[in-house]
Structure 1
Amino acid sequence: MDMQIAQSSDYVASSQLKASYQTLQSIEPDDFFAMYSLFSRYYDGTSLEEFSEDFKVKSGAIILRDGTGSIQGFSTQEISEFAFENERYTVIFSGDTIVDHHHWGQQALNYEWMRFTGVTSRNMNTEKLYWFLIVKGHRTYRYLQAFYKNFYPAYNLDTNEMDQKLLHFLAADKYKQNYCANSGVVKFAAAKCRLKDEWAEIPLKDRPRPAVQYFLKRNPGYQRGDELACLCQLSAENHRPFVRRLFLNAQSVG
C-alpha cells in the first residue's frame, strides 16, 4: 500500500470531490477498469490479471470521485476476523491505494476512511479493531503518525509485546515465506508491483524528517517493491483529537 500520487491524462478540474466506501459487489466493471488504469500509471510490475486477483479477495474500496463521477483515487479494503492467543480481533487490511496528483492534499478520502473505520468498529463482533497494512512509501508511513498516537513500528515508540506478536502473526499468515519477521519487511522473490522511479524518489525536503529516516532504515529496499508491515489499533483513544470526532460520530450513528 502507498498513499501516493499519480498522473491522470483524463483529469477533469472539479472542487466537488466525494469519497464513499463501496462493497466489492457494487463496483461496476467500468469503475474497476478505471481503477486499474489509474493504478498502472503509477506502478511498474503490475498487470490487469494480478490487480484483478488481488481485488477479488477484498471486501470493497473507498473510492474518490470528482464532480463528473470520474474516479480520481481509491483504496481497497479487506475486513477479516482472526483468532489469536485466545482472543478474537477484527482487522482491516488496506491494499492498493492511489490518488491522482491533481487532488494530492485532498481530505475527502481521509474523512471517508475515518467514517468507514468508525462504522466497522460499530458493527464488528469483536472487542478490538486493528489496521494492518504493508507500506511501500514514506508518505503512507507518515499518515500513521498524522492520525494516530500509537502505531508499529515507530521511530519514537517501543512496540509492546502483544502488538508485535499480532503483527508477526498477521503478516506471516498473509504473506507466508515472503515475510521476514526479523526485519518486519515483506519481500517477494520475483519482481512485484513497485512505485515507478519518478514517484519512488523521496524529495530532499522530506528526507530529514525522523519518520522518513526511520522508514528508510527499516525498509531500504522500498524502491524494489519491499513493503514494511505496520499495525495500528483503531480505538477512539488512539486517534489524534482532530480525527477522533469523525471516528466517534461514525461509530455511534454510521
Structure 2
Amino acid sequence: MRKALTASTVRVKKLKRPEIERMYQLFSEYYQNHTLETFEHDLYEKNHVIILRDKHDRSIQGFSTLLRVPLKKAGKNVLGVYSGDTVTNKEYWGSPALGIEFLKYLWKLKMKRPGTAVYWFLISKGYKTYLLMANNFAYHYPRHDQPTPPEYKTLMNEFYAKKFGEHYHADTGIIAYEGRSCALREHVADITPELLQEPRVAFFQKQNPKWQDGHELTCIAKMTVWMPFKYALKKTFQVRRK
C-alpha cells in the first residue's frame, strides 16, 4: 500500500505532550546538535504548526512550525509568515501534502487582507527546503537568474536582523552561529554532482557553501491571490505528462 499523508494546521498551544514528543523524535532523526529544550523554545514561540499524519494509521510523520510577523514596507503594513523547524519522514518524501496545506494557510491570510502584501520568510539548511520555495513561488529571493530587489532586501534585513541579531550577516544573507549548531544529519540531503546540474541547486550551494555546518540561507517569497491556482495547474500538467 502506497504511503500517503494528510495535513492539518493547528495552534501550537493546543498540541498535546505525546504529539510534541513524537515531533521531537522525528526531528532528531534528521537533525543533529540540538536539545529538547531548544526544540520546545522554538516551537512555543510559533503561532501554528502544520501536522502531517499518515493517512491510514494517523501517526505524525512530519510538521512545519509557523509564526506570523507584522512588518512595514514603504510605510505600509505587510504581513510576514516565518517557517521554523520543518521535517518530513523520508518514507513520505514527494508527498504534496505540506506544500498544499501551506499554500492554503497563506491564501487564507491573503484573502482576509486582500489589500495587504503577504510574504514568506524561510531559512534553509538544505537544498530541498530552498527548492520548495524556488520551484513554486514566482516572486522569491535570492535566486540564480536575477538580483534581489532593494525593497525585498530591506524587508529581509529588518526581519532577520531583529530575530537573529549578530548571527545574521546581511552581506551574504547567511545565518551562522559560533561552534556547533543544529544541522542536517549526514546523507539526509547530500548535494551530488548530478544535482549540481540543476541551476537552483548549484545556486544554493554557491550561496550557502557551509550548509553542512548548519549555516542557513535566508529567503523571502511573495504570496499572491493567484498562487494556489497556478500551483494546481502546474501539478495537473505534471500528472498528465506521466
In structure 1, C-alpha distance between the alignment counterparts of 2:191 and 2:110, rounded to whole Å = 34
Give the 3 Å change call, closer, same or farther, for CA 152–196 of structure 1 in structure 2.
Answer: same
In structure 1, C-alpha distance between the alignment counterparts of 2:37 and 2:47, rounded to whole Å = 18
Kindly provide the CA deviation profile for residues 76-101 of structure 1, in whole angstroms up to 9, marking residues without a partner as x. Answer: 11112123441211110001111111
Q: Which residue number in structure 1 is paired with residue 224 of structure 2? A: 235
Shift of 1:135: 0.6
1:104 matched to 2:80: no
Is contact 1:94-1:133 (8 Å) kept?
yes
1:202 matched to 2:191: yes
In structure 2, C-alpha distance between the alignment counterparts of 1:158 and 1:236, rounded to whole Å = 24
In structure 2, C-alpha distance between the alignment counterparts of 1:124 and 1:37, rounded to whole Å = 37
Of the three residues 77, 85, 103, the one matched with 1:114 is 103
> Superposition pairs for residues 101-250 of structure 1, below 5 Å?
101-124=90-113, 127-237=116-226, 241-243=230-232
Q: Which residue number in structure 2 is paired with residue 20 of structure 1? A: 8
> Superposition pairs for residues 30-69 of structure 1, below 5 Å?
30-66=18-54, 67-69=56-58
Kindly provide the CA deviation profile for residues 188-238 of structure 1, in whole angstroms up to 9, marking residues without a partner as x. Answer: 113111011122421333121111111111111101000010001111356
In structure 1, runs of 5+ residues without a counterpart are 1-12, 247-254
Q: How high is the sequence identity, in percent, across the aligned residues? A: 29
Q: Which amino acid aligns with 2:76?
A: E
CA RMSD of aligned residues (A): 2.0
In structure 1, C-alpha distance between the alignment counterparts of 2:11 and 2:144, rounded to whole Å = 35
Q: Which residue number in structure 2 is paired with residue 6 of structure 1? A: none
Q: What TM-score, normalized by structure 2, do the two folds share?
A: 0.90
In structure 1, C-alpha distance between the alignment counterparts of 2:137 and 2:232, rounded to whole Å = 9
124-133 or 186-195, which moves further after superposition? 124-133
In structure 2, runs of 5+ residues without a counterpart are 236-242
Q: What TM-score, normalized by structure 1, do the two folds share?
A: 0.86
Equivalent pairs, count: 234
In structure 2, C-alpha distance between the alignment counterparts of 1:189 and 1:87, rounded to whole Å = 36
